[in-house]
């Protein structure tokens, strides 16, 4: 089964994304911030198919999270979708330079998430 991590400090957003991803065939694990997300990834022996992360999170923000993720050889090629309210082009460019695969701005629709999943080749 495909496994996705959703890291977002908003319980509501984690729930919405989890429901979308579950319907798309993923088993979803959730983290309330980047630090918890890294811990979950390192502890989980399964292959992680997809990571979804917010930019604005306490303890470790999304950009720091992606940099930490990419520094681990196990996750260098894992698709990462940043889902955030950050809409400035400079922020988007920084995220992409740090290793984000796709960028989605909030508010988002299920169709927008599914389109990005197809672009990332993690769903049929």
pLDDT at 52: 98
pLDDT per residue over 17-68, tens digit each? 999 999 999 999 999 999 999 999 999 999 999 999 999 999 999 999 999 9
- pTM of the shown model: 0.95
CA–chain centroid gap for 122, Å, is 13
- Predicted confidence at residue 124, as pLDDT, reads 82
CATH number of 2-119: 3.40.50.2300
Do the beta carbons of residue 100 and residue 72 sit within 8 Å? no
Q: Where are the domains of the chain?
A: 2-119
Q: Mean pLDDT across the stretch 10-17?
A: 98
Q: Please report, for residues 39, 44, 90, the alpha-carbon distance to residue 121 in angstroms, rounded to integers and kept in the order given.
A: 26, 22, 26
Closest CA to 80 of 106, 107, 104, 105: 104
């Amino acid at each position: 089964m495909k496994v996705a991590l959703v890291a977002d400090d908003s319980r509501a957003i984690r729930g919405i994304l989890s429901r979308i991803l579950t319907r798309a065939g993923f088993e979803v694990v959730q983290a309330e911030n980047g630090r918890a997300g890294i811990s979950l990834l390192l502890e989980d022996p399964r292959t992680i198919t997809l990571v979804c992360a917010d930019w604005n999170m306490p303890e470790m923000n999304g950009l720091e999270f992606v940099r930490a993720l990419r520094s681990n050889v196990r996750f260098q090629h894992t698709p990462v979708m940043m889902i955030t309210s950050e809409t400035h082009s400079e922020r988007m460019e920084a995220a992409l330079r740090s290793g984000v695969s796709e960028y989605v701005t909030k508010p988002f629709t299920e169709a927008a998430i599914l389109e990005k999943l197809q672009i990332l080749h993690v769903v049929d």
